Amino acid sequence: PFSHEYIVAPPSLTVAATKMNLFYIGVDNPVSISVPGIAKENIRPSISAGSISSDPNSRGNWIVRVPTGTRKAVISASADYQGQMMNMGSAEFRVKKVPDPVAEIAGLVQGSIEKNTLLAASAIIPEMKDFEFDLYFRVVSFKMITIIGGDLVQKNARGNRFTEDMNSIIKNARRKQKFFFQNIQATGPDGTTRSLNPINLEIK
């Protein structure tokens, strides 16, 4: 009788970043890894840069973290296929730093503002615009500049909140008086310090 030997190709690996097709530095990047016909718990992934660990909030999914300076990361996976561990393939992802947030006061970057609204805000808030991840930047310092009686007045602050001197100046501000918030520095989840956009406001 004739004997035939069939070599069955292993199923292909599918790796998908559940947020988008790239990884961001310094944040938890959720990843779905699957191989048709193989249970997720039997898949053993690895990554060329950074770390990959099981997602405690989503069984069978993974969390990728990539370090500063990384430009690309390759995820490979092996699995028990027909009784032996086999390499199921790999997938390459681009790596980017988290984009800069937009510094705002009471939701404004520029324009006119009521004095009471400015006093009530009393802080600079870094907002992530149209960004998939829920993360937070922390403003560490900034400068407020205005003109009083023809003189340029500058006040510095640590953190994101207005100082007492700043609030006092704003309380005594006149209509059309301009306030410039500059040198806004913020740190993000990747540990780097970013220089954010200035904010230019005028009292109504």
In a domain, 2, yes or no: no
Q: Which amino acid is at 141?
A: S
pLDDT of 142 above 70:
yes
For the chain, percent of residues with pLDDT exceeding 90: 67
Q: Are residues 177 and 130 in the same domain?
A: yes
Domain count, the chain: 2
Q: Are residues 77 and 106 in the same domain?
A: no
The beta strand positions in the chain, using DSSP E, are: 14-17, 22-24, 29-34, 43-47, 51-54, 61-65, 72-81, 84-96, 102-104, 110-113, 125-127, 138-148, 151-158, 178-187, 193-195, 199-203
Residue pLDDT, tens place only, 94-128: 999 999 999 999 999 999 999 999 999 999 999 99
Q: Are residues 37 and 92 in the same domain?
A: yes
Q: Average pLDDT, stretch 149-158?
A: 98
Domain boundary among 96, 116, 145: 96
Q: Are residues 84 and 55 in the same domain?
A: yes
What's the mean pLDDT when you consider all of the chain?
90
Q: Are residues 155 and 115 in the same domain?
A: yes
pLDDT at 131: 87
pLDDT of 61 above 70:
yes
Structural domain including 20 reads 14-96
Q: Are residues 68 and 125 in the same domain?
A: no
pLDDT at 5: 40
pLDDT at 6: 34
Domain boundary among 96, 111, 140: 96
pLDDT of 12 above 90:
no
Cα–Cα distance for residue pair 201/185, rounded to 1 Å: 18
Query: What CATH number is associated with residue 83?
Result: 2.60.40.10
For the chain, percent of residues with pLDDT exceeding 70: 94
pLDDT at 8: 42
Q: Structure pTM?
A: 0.81
Query: Regarding predicted confidence, which is higher, 22 or 162?
Result: 162
Residue pLDDT, tens place only, 15-50: 887 667 789 999 999 999 888 888 888 889 999 999
Alpha-carbon radius of gyration of the chain: 26
pLDDT of 57 above 80:
yes
